[in-house]
Amino acid sequence: MGAVDDGLRRLQVGQYACPRCRLPQDRVATLEQDWVLLEPGVEVLAHLVPAEHRWITLSDGRVTVYGVCPPDGSQRCRIEHRLTCSKQPLPDLWPWLTALRAENARAAQRRTDPEPPRPPQAWPDAG
């Protein structure tokens, strides 16, 4: 880790350009001795964000995932830039909703599939 990174660790936040879209994002230290890239200037009500994607800032400036369910109604959280980046695919935020969409796709496909041929009610006389 170089001098720049050491300085950022002390400050616990720094702005980086997203390598994909080039927009600025906040690089913030996590409780787990790691870094996370957060969308700058955006704090949303926690209940609008899936639990594993909510980041809250602690008193020392580090951030951690806010996984409380149900969340406090007034709690706000930050989100990772990768969720808002136009150059990155959106991860599966709501797996239950994705599963329901897949089931609906199968149901719709069953409705549009041609019906299998019905067996004849009676075989024609062969004699």
Which residues make up the interface to Zn ion (CB under 5 A)?
Answer: 18, 20-21, 85
Of 21, 28, 34, whose CA–CA distance to 83 is shortest?
Answer: 21
In whole angstroms, the minimum distance from the beta carbon of 82 to Zn ion comes to: 7
13 vs 21, beta carbon nearer Zn ion: 21
40 vs 67, beta carbon nearer Zn ion: 40
In whole angstroms, the minimum distance from the beta carbon of 88 to Zn ion comes to: 6
Sequence-ordered list of residues with C-beta below 8 angstroms from that of 27, at least 6 positions apart, any chain? 8, 13, 14, 15, 16, 35, 36, 37, 38
65 vs 83, beta carbon nearer Zn ion: 83
